[in-house]
Amino acid sequence: MQNLKLFITGHKGFETLLFHELRDILGSGNATLEKKYGGVEVSAGIEAVYRVCLHSRLANRVFCELGRAQVEDETRLYQAVYQIDWGAHLNARDSIAVSATASRSRLEHTHYVALKAKDAIVDQFRESCGSRPVVEKKQPDFQVHINIHHNQASISLDLSGESLHRRGYRLQHAGAPLKEHLAAALLMQAGWERPRSAVRRLVDPMCGSGTFAIEAAMMAANIAPGLQRSYFGFNKWRLHQPDLWQACIEQARQAVEPHNGAIVFASDYDAGALEIARANAARAQVDNMIEFSHQQVGELELPPFQGDTLVICNPPWGKRLQGEQELAGIYADLGNAVRRLAPASLAIISANPDLLHRLKLKRISRKDVRNGPLECLFAIFATVGDKQAAKVTPAVSVVADEIAVPLRNRLTKNARHLQRWARRNDISCYRIYDADLPEFSFALDRYQSEIDPEVEWYHLQEYQAPATIEADTAQYRIGVAADVVRELFSIPDDRLFCKTRSRQRGSSQYQKQAGRNEFYQVREGEASLLINLSDYLDSGLFLDHRITRELVYQRSAGKSVLNLFCYTGAVGVQAGLGGASSVVNVDLSPTYLNWARENHLLNELNDELRYQFLRADIVELLNRPEQFALQQSYDLIFFDPPSFSNSSKMQQTLDIQRDHEDLIRLAMNLLAADGLLLFSTNRRGFKLAETTGQSYRVLDITHSTIPEDFKRNPKIHRCWEIRHRA
């Protein structure tokens, strides 16, 4: 029999895993495989279809291509479908369903494409034998699929019938379960495989309907996932070979190893979900391999185990939980539970990656994954040494590039000096380079993980090139710079974050640029702080204000503190850790207020009466403080406004050069008689109004607040102490 042209799809992003799985299932002698975007192309006989439908844990569809044609319009589409000999595949009275997908093509309306294809099939049968197939959407005898890409149509039979993730065991579910083939892919990604399962323990402490545990047990016992299915798209296919199919089924049954010694635990706080999971496991015939228990994740207790433990879970999710600490607490409890099971690793698929820092575990890998409508992160963490971390292989060697030599020399010199300085002063986050060389105009910051000090992240911010520099030249130079940084500091791609810093106006520097929502935990002085290196132009921690924040820490004991334009709350945290009697953090952005709140909670500053977060237009607040329930006066006010802001949420625009005199006067109205106002700005060319110096005692402390790593750029900010006159 001639080979069939098959296209086997799986979950997007796991094509490599699918390719290796199919190669193991089909062998290398009887099939030709090629990995493609979205799946694997296979040339093989009909036995390959049977084996994939029975054994593949990662596939969801098996398409058999019957024809291919260029289709710029509906007429050519109709002709392409009509020209296929449909009588060679189905009978006139069989039921059919037609589906379509289209991309970058003139025919974009997929419902219309499916309708025209159905008409062509029906017309062929009506004209050849006077009868026609009937349309049946639910479990038809034949599923026909049309895929059009760049006006090229592939016309296929879906031999899986319905998605292969439907194993047949999950008749009920609890909450929002993972599809079975995605759960299997994540298990494989985490390293769960049959040869090692006998010496490794798997634990799902938030099992829900039991998908992870059941898939893991089926893998360990070598139970083919398609054994319990009765409906496939090839059941009534004219090329179907029932005897060969039955032989494949019998071979799969003989290969089952129900007593291979794998240990699988599944627990959940929801007793109803556990009952569903037990019933699903019984239908999958692995209930004897899984130990279910009714436990909260924070109280998880398991028997001692001599080997390695893999914890895998899909925690509850929701929109970012501002004010809801329950989900944040679950992540903290999960991290504690994994540490109690050490040596252990945790594999977690999370729709709330901004909470992963609460695990306080060492991350060794990450992968973006889509779970239904949710953009998620699949991350693997460890409790012990980073034995599984990927080796760093620079993408390209730049040593031979002459333009890179002076940059490499300067970075080496700066890094050597600053590393010694940082160690002496217990500083883990600092600037290494700031446009020292005119042809390489970028800033480079280094951040060290507090959780795993061996992990460092680098934040490269390219300054927008002047109009005199060709765009291609600027792009080439920044590419060289990124390569030099990777090679010089021996870091993988996922630990270097590159951005372009164009000329910013006001709050535009705070606008979101990406959506990873992933936070990393770093340390500054006594404070643990969260940074985000992917989603915003800035990281959430202005390194040039390190000394200024230290001043706040030193001067806050017993003081009431008002933190205006609080951003991510780092100043408020230092005030709280310094012993402030109260801290009020004010900002107009709910995103940054929530970030500030998370920073306070990270440092156990969780007394809601002492540490408050107020969303307000600060210009309006200073003009009408009585409307915002502020106390009459504060001992310490930190005031670091943006240079310019025209946020739609503000009542009026803010220009700090134009408005600072009035704003300082209004802020001083809230300052206690013996209090201190710390005023700072990064507005280039800023000049403090003479009347401010005449009205108040003003001390310029700029020079003493510029840290060592910013000495090459002393104009990074200006800072003053302002007090009432006696």
Which CATH number is 573's domain given?
A: 3.40.50.150
* Contact indicator for 31, 124 with CB cutoff of 8 Å: no
pLDDT in tens, 653-685: 889 999 999 999 999 999 999 999 999 999 999
Mean pLDDT along residues 111-134: 95
Confidence of residue 250 (pLDDT cuts 50, 70, 90): very high
Residue 45 placed within a domain? yes
Residue 169 placed within a domain? no
CA–CA separation, 697 vs 726, rounded Å?
A: 9
Report the alpha-carbon angle 677-683-687, nearest 5.
70
The answer, yes or no, to whether residue 354 has pLDDT greater than 90, is no
* 304 or 195, which is more confident: 304
Same domain, 215 and 364: yes
Residue 282 placed within a domain? yes
Same domain, 637 and 570: yes
Residue 57 placed within a domain? yes
Q: Which pLDDT does position 401 carry in this prediction?
A: 59
Give the CATH number for residue 450: 3.30.750.80
Q: Which pLDDT does position 248 carry in this prediction?
A: 97
pLDDT in tens, 584-636: 999 999 999 999 999 999 999 999 999 999 999 999 999 999 999 899 999 99
The answer, yes or no, to whether residue 392 has pLDDT greater than 90, is no
Host H or E run for residue 99: strand 95-103
Same domain, 152 and 10: yes
Tally of CA atoms within 13 A in the half-sphere of 459 that contains its CB? 22
Q: Which of 32, 40, 37, 31 is closest to 58 using CA atoms?
A: 40
Residue 203 placed within a domain? yes
pLDDT in tens, 419-435: 999 999 999 999 999 99
Same domain, 120 and 30: yes
Q: Which pLDDT does position 474 carry in this prediction?
A: 80
pLDDT in tens, 62-100: 999 999 999 999 999 999 999 999 999 999 999 999 999
Helices (H), 284-374: 325-340
Same domain, 448 and 364: no
* Count of the separate structural domains present in the chain: 4
CA distances from 229 to 61, 224, 242 (A): 14, 10, 15
For residue 437, count CB atoms less than 10 angstroms from its CB and return exposed for 0-12, middle for 13-18, buried for 19 or more: middle
**Percentage of the chain with pLDDT > 70?**
92
Query: Could you tell me which residues come within 8 angstroms of residue 716 by beta carbon, excluding any fewer than 6 positions away?
Result: 544, 682, 706, 710
Token pair of 163 as six digits: 């998605």
* Chain mean pLDDT for the chain: 90
The answer, yes or no, to whether residue 503 has pLDDT greater than 60, is no
Confidence of residue 397 (pLDDT cuts 50, 70, 90): very low
The answer, yes or no, to whether residue 395 has pLDDT greater than 80, is no
Same domain, 330 and 284: yes
Same domain, 464 and 352: no
Same domain, 377 and 320: yes
DSSP state of 190: T
Same domain, 356 and 458: no
Residue 333 placed within a domain? yes
Same domain, 148 and 215: no
Same domain, 288 and 346: yes
pLDDT in tens, 177-227: 799 999 999 999 999 987 766 668 999 999 999 999 999 999 999 999 999
Query: Could you tell me which residues come within 8 angstroms of residue 467 by beta carbon, excluding any fewer than 6 positions away?
Result: none
Of the candidate ranges 98-107, 403-412, 502-511, the one whose mean pLDDT is the lowest? 502-511
Give, rounded to a whole angstrom, the gap between the first and last alpha carbons of the chain: 101
Residue 230 placed within a domain? no
The model carries a pTM of: 0.79
Helices (H), 442-569: 471-489, 546-555
Q: Which pLDDT does position 463 carry in this prediction?
A: 87
Confidence of residue 647 (pLDDT cuts 50, 70, 90): low
**Percentage of the chain with pLDDT > 90?**
78
Of the candidate ranges 220-234, 376-390, 392-406, 481-495, the one whose mean pLDDT is the lowest? 392-406
Same domain, 547 and 453: no
What is the residue range of 336's domain?
180-222+257-382
The answer, yes or no, to whether residue 443 has pLDDT greater than 90, is yes
Q: Which pLDDT does position 506 carry in this prediction?
A: 43
Helix/strand number for the chain, H first, E second: 19, 30
CA–CA separation, 102 vs 108, rounded Å?
A: 6
Of 474, 503, 532, the position where a domain reaches its end is 503
Give the CATH number for residue 45: 3.30.2130.30
Q: Which pLDDT does position 399 carry in this prediction?
A: 42
Residue 239 placed within a domain? no
Query: Could you tell me which residues come within 8 angstroms of residue 659 by beta carbon, excluding any fewer than 6 positions away?
Result: 619
Rg of the chain in Å (alpha carbons)? 31
Token pair of 457 as six digits: 């992240």
